[in-house]
Amino acid sequence: MKQKMKRGLALLTALCMVPGLTGCGQNDAKIVDQGKNEEKEELIIYSPNATGNEVREGGVMSAMQMAIDEFEKDHPNIAVSYKSYTPQDYQEKSYDEVVLDRVRNKMGDDISIMNPDVAYALNQEGYLADLSGLDTVQYLTDDALNQCTVDGKVISVPMTMLCYGLCVNNDLLKRYGLELPKTKQDFLHCCEVLKANGITPIAANRWWMETFVLTQGFAKLYIEDGKEEKIAALNSGETPISQYMRPGFEFLQELMDKGYFDVDFAKTAEAGDEKDQFMNQEVAFVVHYDTAIQDEVYGDHDFDMAFIGFPTDEYGQVNLMNAAQRIGINNETKHYDEAVAFAEQMTSKEVVTELLKNSGGFPPRTDITFERPEILATAYENVEAGRSIPGSNPEIKLEQWGSTCDMVQELYKGKSVDEVMAAFDALQKEAIAK
């Protein structure tokens, strides 16, 4: 037995030594790599960046990453360059301004992610390509397609539909005997009671209070009959835009006057800066879109939260729908086909499904199956009942989303509602004149 073991060990040792011995003394040159660097076509996409880790998983950036990865896999000869910008604060240029500058200065971006007002502006200036031929278009919901179509031209395709509404701290309301507001008066009552109890009712940033304005006035246009006639009257100048804008601005002015939100904070706050106030239960209301229910935003809350529409006296709660993460293709791009393919990828069923996977919400496509979170029940109910308006309707010559946003800033700065209305009407005339 011992002899066998010794023989086995000797054999094993010998076998171990063979590779070492054969490797010794060799010094032959060996070409380990040889070739030519392949030049890839560069496809440049310019995009705003979502800030913070909260959007890293399950959000739009995650879906974009997924789309890019998939695209690069399918198009190995194309190198996607991803460029982005996010303003540090309100003093810096906004993303919209930068996109406008880049397109107008022909900085070479093939694809840009843009907001509706920018899209409308660039389309008017002739920088955007027609995307009607995308497969995605035939699957877009009517609302999504309408918001992206200008005179029959599909100027952009959205990755998502954002449903704006009010996130409510229901515990705070209950604490003071209040219920979820269904009308403007209910809402003002809530604000009054909360304010009387030392609680600021609303937290606002510099962008999203326009939703209050738009829903108050434009609900009548979209919910009641005769939408086309009304739009025609607006486009002809027969109906001044102030007719629809005034109720909203007056409402906003009332909120400002009564101190129902911190105007100074709202002047400079970027989207998301108000998060801490709401999570710390310092306020009862905050404007956000439906993805607010994600854990990374407001989902991980310690109180009873509700997501409702904006209360109006005439129609009850009304939500505002925006076709967002719009993909526009530069009309002068040298890589149109690649850009179209990329846009198809970005708005594909898989990517949209991925976007809805974690947060639910409202898809821009009709072929998506998704789960409806209970917390969005009111929003689904409102939208399905027709109690929703678009954030911007390209059928109306005056772009609403961006211009309202600008006017809200003016109101913050101290202009009166009348002055703002006058400015609006002037913008309307200017737009009609174009």
Partner 1 sequence: MKWYKTRAIPIMIAGIVLIGCVIYGLSSRIQNQMEKAATENVREIVQIIESGITEIRSNDVSMAVQLAGLFTPEGDTGALLSQMQKNSVFARLSYIPEGAASGISSNGNAFTPAGFPDQRDQVGEALVTNVYMSDLGAWTYTVECPVYAGDQRAGTFYADVLMERYDNILPDAVFQGEGLVYILDAKTLRFVYEPTSTRVIISGKYDLHGFLDDFGIMEEGLEENISGAIDDAQSTIVRMSVNGETSYVYFWPIDKGAWYLCGIIPERSIQGESKAVTQTIVVTSMIIFLGAVMFFLMFHWYNRKSQKAREEQIDLFNGIARSIDDVVLLYDCDTGVQELAFDNAKRILGVDGKSLTAISECAVDNADEGAEDLTQILCRKNFQDGLERTEKAVWMNPETGLKQYLRVETAFIALDGARKCIVSVVDVTKEVQMQESLQASVLAAQNASQVKSNFLSQMSHEIRTPMNAVVGMVQIAETKFDDRERVADCLRKIKSSSHHLLSLINEILDISKIESQKMSLSEAWFSLDALLSDIDNIISVQAGMRRQRFMICNPVGNMDLLADPIRLKQVLMNLLNNSVKYTPEGGSVTLTIERKAAKMKDYCVLCFRIEDDGIGMSAEFQKKLFTPFEREDRDEVSAQTGTGLGLAIVQSMVSLMGGVLRVESEMGVGTTFYVDVNFKYKSGETRESVEEETQEVCDLTGVVILLAEDNELNREIAAEFLKMANAQVECAADGVDAFEKFRDSEAGRYDIILMDMQMPRWDGLEATRQIRKLDRPDAAAVPIIAVTANAYFEDEQKCLEAGMNDHVAKPLEMQDFYQKVKKYLWHENKEEKK
**Quick one: which of 61, 140, 188, 297 contacts partner 1 (CB under 8 A)?**
61
What does residue 85 show for φ and ψ, rounded to 5 degrees?
Answer: -155, 140
For residue 104, give Cα distances in angstroms to 126, 130, 156: 10, 18, 17
CB 204 within 8 A of CB 266: yes
Query: Given candidates 14, 17, 41, 52, which one binds partner 1 under the rule CB under 8 A?
Result: 52
Based on the shown chain and the rule CB under 8 A, indicate whether residue 328 belongs to the binding site for partner 1: no
Query: Is the dihedral angle over the CA atoms 407, 412, 418, 419 positive or is it negative?
Result: negative
Q: Does 87 bind partner 1 (CB under 8 A)?
A: yes
> Of 330, 356, 358, which is closest to residue 343 (Cα–Cα)?
330
Query: What's the min distance (Å) between Cβ of 173 and partner 1?
Result: 33
Nearer to partner 1, 45 or 173 (CB): 45
77 binding partner 1? (CB under 8 A) = no
Q: Give dist(CA 145, CA 165) in Å, integer.
A: 21
Sole residue written with tokens 């961006």: 402
- Looking at 58, 98, 360, 373, which residue binds partner 1 (CB under 8 A)? 98
Q: Which of 74, 81, 174, 419 binds partner 1 (CB under 8 A)?
A: 81
In the bound state with partner 1, the residue whose beta carbon lies nearer, of 62 and 404, is 62
Instruction: State the minimum distance, in angstroms, from the CB of residue 43 to partner 1.
Output: 10
User: DSSP alpha helices (H): ranges in 224-314?
Assistant: 227-236, 242-257, 263-268, 275-279
Q: Select from 100-108, 181-189, 360-368, 400-408 the region that touches partner 1 (CB under 8 A).
A: 100-108
Among residues 41, 49, 259, 416, the one that binds partner 1 under rule CB under 8 A: 49
For partner 1, the closer CB: 351 or 396: 351
Q: Does 268 bind partner 1 (CB under 8 A)?
A: no
Report if residue 259 touches partner 1, rule: CB under 8 A: no
- Give the other-Cβ count within 10 Å of 210's Cβ: 26
The verdict on 194 binding partner 1 (CB under 8 A) reads no
By CB atoms closer than 10 A (0-12, 13-18, 19+), residue 400 is buried
Determine if residue 195 is left, alpha or beta; phi over 0 gives left, psi from -120 to 50 gives alpha, anything else beta.
alpha
Nearest approach, Cβ of residue 61 and partner 1 (Å): 5
Per CB under 8 A, 386 contacts partner 1: no
DSSP state of 330: B
Distance CA 66, CA 64 (A): 5
Contacts of 260 (CB under 8 A, 6+ apart): 191, 195, 200, 201, 202
295 forms part of the interface with partner 1 (CB under 8 A):
no
According to CB under 8 A, which one of 3, 13, 34, 53 is a site residue for partner 1? 53
**Does 221 contact partner 1 by CB under 8 A?**
no
Q: Is 40 in the site for partner 1 (CB under 8 A)?
A: no
Chain contacts with partner 1 (rule: CB under 8 A): 44, 47-53, 55-56, 61, 64-65, 68-69, 72, 80-88, 92-93, 97-105, 107
